[in-house]
């Protein structure tokens, strides 16, 4: 652990100071970072190794209506999918409110992804317009491990993440069947969905996809093309 953020601080009266230290490190690492996955992975890693009372730390992404899928995390295996109507993560996604649970056994419909989990805090990550993008889930193997200090600092962090994630980079992989065939791009119907992100159905979107496909497509059978859209619309 970095000397500026000893793990022992999390179990002392200086938990708030430990969060401030963690936040400084996270902000420095994510300065100018606009990749959603990189941001989630960095936050999960830094928080997990910064605090002694954290046992599992990670994100669940909104990938479809009423459905969360596991994202970057630290700790043992997480549940792969969680519907909005199940468990602590589902309650946070459904209500848009932080869930601070001192005893998971007393929480209705708790999903036991790990038998060692005793308490949990789940914080929504929302875009500035209120659209839910993900939830940050932190489990502990101790009863009542989390308090208002955890909630305050994690909510502030997730608010910043939500603002950053509204302008992310998405990678489109064009298969061989699409290369050099503008009619396939022109015939796109409905929204273009890529790894949980959704681009609008406007003619300009189809035209842009067609243009970059024709410019780059002949170079190789599979080409990764980065598309920048501000803002992206999360599904």
The model's pLDDT over 132-161, given as tens digits with 9 standing for 90+, comes to 999 999 999 999 999 999 999 999 999 999
**Residue 61 · residue 81 · CB < 8 Å:** no
Which band of pLDDT confidence, cut at 50, 70 and 90, is reported for residue 34?
confident
Strands (E), 37-180: 56-64, 67-74, 81-83, 99-101, 119-126, 132-140, 169-174
17 and 120 share a domain? yes
- Same domain (yes/no): 149, 63: yes
Structural domain range at position 158: 7-165
Question: 147 and 184: one domain?
Answer: no
Co-location of 93 and 201 in the same domain: no
Dihedral, CA of residue 172, residue 175, residue 179 and residue 181, to nearest 10: -100
Each residue of 50-74: pLDDT tens digit?
A: 999 999 999 999 999 999 999 999 9
Rounded to two decimals, the pTM is 0.69
| Total structural domains within the chain | 2
């Amino acid at each position: 652990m970095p000397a500026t953020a000893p793990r022992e601080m999390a179990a002392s009266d200086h938990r708030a100071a430990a969060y401030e230290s963690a936040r400084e490190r996270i902000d420095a690492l994510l300065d100018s970072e606009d990749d959603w996955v990189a941001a989630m992975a960095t936050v999960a890693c830094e928080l997990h190794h910064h605090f002694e009372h954290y046992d599992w730390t990670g994100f669940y992404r909104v990938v479809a209506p009423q459905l969360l899928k596991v994202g970057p995390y630290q700790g043992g295996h997480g549940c792969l999918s969680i519907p909005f109507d199940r468990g602590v993560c589902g309650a946070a996604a459904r209500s848009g409110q932080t869930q601070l649970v001192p005893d998971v056994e007393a929480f209705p419909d708790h999903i036991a992804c790990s038998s060692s989990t005793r308490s949990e805090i789940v914080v929504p990550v929302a875009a500035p317009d209120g659209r839910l993008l993900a939830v940050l889930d932190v489990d502990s193997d101790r009863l009542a491990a989390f308090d208002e200090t955890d909630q305050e600092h994690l909510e502030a962090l997730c608010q910043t993440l939500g603002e950053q994630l509204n302008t992310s980079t998405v990678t489109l992989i064009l298969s061989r069947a699409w290369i050099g065939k503008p009619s396939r791009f022109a015939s796109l119907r409905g929204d273009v969905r890529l790894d949980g992100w959704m681009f609008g159905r406007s003619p300009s979107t189809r035209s842009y996809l067609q243009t970059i496909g024709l410019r780059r497509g002949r170079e190789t059978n599979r080409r990764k093309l980065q598309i920048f859209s501000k803002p992206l619309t999360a599904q």
